[in-house]
Every structure is written in C-alpha cells, then in structure tokens.
C-alpha cells in the first residue's frame, strides 16, 4: 500500500518524464525499423544467399517489441518508482526478453535448416520432425535460462527430468519408437521427402512429410496414406528415386512368326528414339533397344527398353510409344498377331 501511495503522490513532472523517455525510445525504435531494416531488406534481396533475408525477416516483428521493452526499462529506471516494484518490472522484462529472443532463434534455426539442406546435399532433409527437434531444443534452453534468471537451480530439475524421463519412456514406448524410427529414416536418407516409394503392402506414392509419428505418402489418386514410422522401417520399400530418378521403361511386344526380325528391330528402335526426343517425360539422349526372348504360342516376343525421367513419366512414354508403333507397324506391314488357339478335332472326336 505504501508503494501504491508513493506512486499516486508523484508530482506531474515526475510522472511525465518517464512517459517522455518511453516515447523517445519507442520513436527511435520505430524509426530504426522503418529506415534501417528496410534498407537492409533491399540489400539482402540483391545478395545470392538467403540467410540474410531470413535473419532480417526474423528480426522484423520483434524489433519494435524490444524497443518497447527498452523504453519501459529506461522509463522505470529514470522514475521514482519504488525499488521493489522496479525489481519486479525488470524481472518481467527479462523473462519477456529471453522468451522473445528464444522465439526469434527458433524461427531462424528452422529457416536455416531449410537453407542449409538445399545448399549441401549431405545435410538433413527438411521435414516436420527435423524442424520440431530444433525448436524443442531451443525452447528447452530458453526455459532453463529463464529459470536460472529467477535464481532457481537447474541441476535438481535436470536430475528430476532424468528420472521422470525414464518413466515417461516406459509409458510411451510406441510413441518414442515412432519418433526415433522417424529420425532414423531422415538420417539414413533411404526414404526422403519428395521420393516416389512403394511398400510391400501395396501402397505407393510421393513422400510429402516425415513427422514425429508418421510418414505421409500422397498416392497418385490424390489420397494420403499415413504410415507409422516404426512400420516403415520394417517394411520392404522400393524407392523409385534411388539411386536417381531416371528409370528404365520396359514394354513387351509380340510379332508374327513370318516377320523380318531385322526390319522389326529397326522400325521399333526408330519409333522409340522418336518418342524419346519429342516426349517431355523421355530421356532425350538415351538410345532405346530391343531384346528378343521368347518363341511364344502365336508370336515371337521381345522387350523394348526405353527410359523415363521419373516414375510417373513412364505412363506418358508408354502411351505415346504404343500409339506411334501401332501406326508404323500398320504402315510397314508388320503384324501383331491375335491370340490363336488350335483345336485338334481328331482328339476331340476320340473323346
């Protein structure tokens, strides 16, 4: 009550001075944000690296808040507010300052992970899991700093967390299993965000994200399959983007026994080369070839080997190749026989 009465009994000049000090500091902060940060942002846009853009963007929002806090601090220190109230205000400002800095560092770390992973191939891929791990670590450090600023010893807390962590780990075995499995998937880089994969259970599609619990796979029909990370590590997975995106496209064909096989090979390869050059999904510099392999019941069968830039491109390559080959075979007189079944009438009559 005494402190409150002291504040209420302050002279107008004593009350106006802190307000003026706060207003001056706030105006300087607003001016610096408007002039300096704008010029720095324009300069950052001209540079090749994205790191400076990230730093300026992270500082833009809390910049004015820091000057508000600085204005309050200087105003309180220049006023005749009682020491105990000043100490409380300073503590609150310190906590808010640490929290705001923690927020900025967490945002910057998340952005730096994206920039770093794009520039360096060996870096961790950008996923929800990797970004959340960095945020959790930074927020944990910020919380410990805040506790330490209040004079609370961190050592007993860490010891308690160690014992409590063991109990939590036993209670959340499945959750932690998926968490560490997801981290293993990211580090091993055998399944990456953006890869086209197929599971032994039949699901296939693009990996869109790896979270702390599941891996999201977007299938071609535009559905999303959520696969628990632990199950993904135990599944047999075909990754169509490893070792690279390009893949062979195999098309099986059969021609009549009376066909000139040399001519068939020449015509087929010509059409295949044409498709490789005009089709956006084909590999232009690839030389297609064929391999005869079977004397079948009604045809001589062979396989045409083409190449697509990635998994989904094979459908367009096959589509265009079949159309053009059918038209060319008709023009050149190459026959693709219908299935034939011979009936032995003598044997049928005997029965």
CATH number of the domain within which 311 lies: 3.30.70.100
Using only C-alpha atoms, what is the Rg of the chain? Answer: 35
What kind and span of H or E run contains 75? helix 51-78
Is 173 a member of any domain? no
Is 68 a member of any domain? yes
Q: Are residues 15 and 63 part of one domain? A: yes
Domain of 230 in residue numbering reads as: 183-239
**SS3 annotation, 96-162:** HHHHHHHHHHHHHHHHHHHHHHHHCCCCCCCCHHHHHHHHHHHHHHHHHHHHHHCCCCHHHHHHHHH
Is 109 a member of any domain? yes
Question: What 3-state class would DSSP assign to 306?
Answer: strand
Q: Are residues 298 and 153 part of one domain? A: no
Is 345 a member of any domain? no
Is 15 a member of any domain? yes
Query: Which pLDDT does position 4 carry in this prediction?
Result: 44
The structural domain count of the chain equals: 3
Q: How many residues belong to the chain?
A: 351
Is 207 a member of any domain? yes
**SS3 annotation, 284-298:** CCCCCEEEEEEECCC
Q: Are residues 278 and 303 part of one domain? A: yes
Query: Which pLDDT does position 225 carry in this prediction?
Result: 93
Q: Are residues 37 and 107 part of one domain? A: yes
Q: Are residues 229 and 289 part of one domain? A: no
pLDDT digits (tens, 9 = 90+) for 101-114: 777 777 777 666 66
pLDDT digits (tens, 9 = 90+) for 80-93: 666 667 777 777 77
Query: Which pLDDT does position 159 carry in this prediction?
Result: 61
Q: Are residues 23 and 96 part of one domain? A: yes
Could you say which residues of the chain have pLDDT below 70? 1-15, 17-18, 44-45, 48-54, 56, 79-84, 110-133, 146-174, 342-351
Q: Are residues 279 and 220 part of one domain? A: no
Query: Which pLDDT does position 270 carry in this prediction?
Result: 95
Q: Largest Cα–Cα distance in the chain?
A: 128
Number of C-beta neighbours around residue 130 at 10 A:
22
CATH number of the domain within which 214 lies: 2.30.30.60
Query: Which pLDDT does position 308 carry in this prediction?
Result: 94
CA distance 208 to 197: 11
Is 347 a member of any domain? no
CA distance 34 to 93: 24
């Amino acid at each position: 009550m005494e402190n409150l009465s002291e504040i209420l009994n302050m002279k107008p000049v004593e009350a106006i001075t802190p307000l003026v000090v706060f207003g001056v500091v706030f105006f300087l902060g607003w001016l610096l944000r408007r002039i300096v940060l704008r010029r720095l942002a324009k300069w950052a846009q001209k540079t090749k690296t994205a790191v400076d853009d990230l730093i300026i963007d992270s500082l833009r929002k809390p910049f004015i808040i820091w000057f508000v806090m600085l204005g309050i601090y200087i105003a309180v220190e220049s006023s005749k507010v009682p020491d105990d109230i000043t100490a409380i205000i300073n503590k609150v400002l310190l906590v808010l300052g640490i929290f705001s800095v923690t927020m900025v560092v967490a945002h910057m770390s998340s952005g730096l992970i994206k920039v770093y992973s794009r520039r360096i191939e060996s870096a961790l891929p950008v996923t929800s899991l990797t970004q959340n791990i960095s945020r959790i670590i930074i927020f944990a450090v910020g919380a410990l700093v805040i506790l330490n600023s209040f004079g609370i010893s961190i050592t007993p807390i860490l010891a308690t967390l160690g014992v409590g962590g063991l109990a939590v780990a036993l209670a959340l075995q499945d959750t932690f299993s998926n968490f560490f499995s997801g981290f293993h998937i990211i580090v091993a880089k055998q399944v990456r965000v953006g890869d086209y994969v197929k599971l032994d259970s039949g699901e296939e599609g693009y990996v869109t994200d790896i979270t702390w619990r599941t891996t999201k796979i977007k299938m071609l029909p535009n559905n999303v399959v959520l696969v628990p990370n632990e199950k993904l590590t135990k599944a047999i997975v075909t990754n169509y983007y490893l070792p690279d995106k390009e893949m062979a496209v195999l098309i099986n064909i059969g021609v009549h026994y009376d066909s000139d096989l040399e001519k068939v090979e020449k015509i087929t390869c010509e059409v295949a080369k044409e498709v490789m050059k005009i089709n956006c999904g084909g590999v232009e510099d690839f030389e297609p070839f064929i391999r005869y392999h079977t004397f079948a019941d009604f045809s001589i069968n062979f396989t045409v080997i083409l190449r697509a830039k990635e998994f989904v491109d094979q459908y367009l390559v096959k589509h265009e190749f079949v159309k053009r080959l059918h038209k060319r075979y008709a023009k050149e007189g190459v026959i693709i026989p219908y299935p034939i079944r011979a009936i032995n009438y003598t044997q049928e009559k005997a029965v």
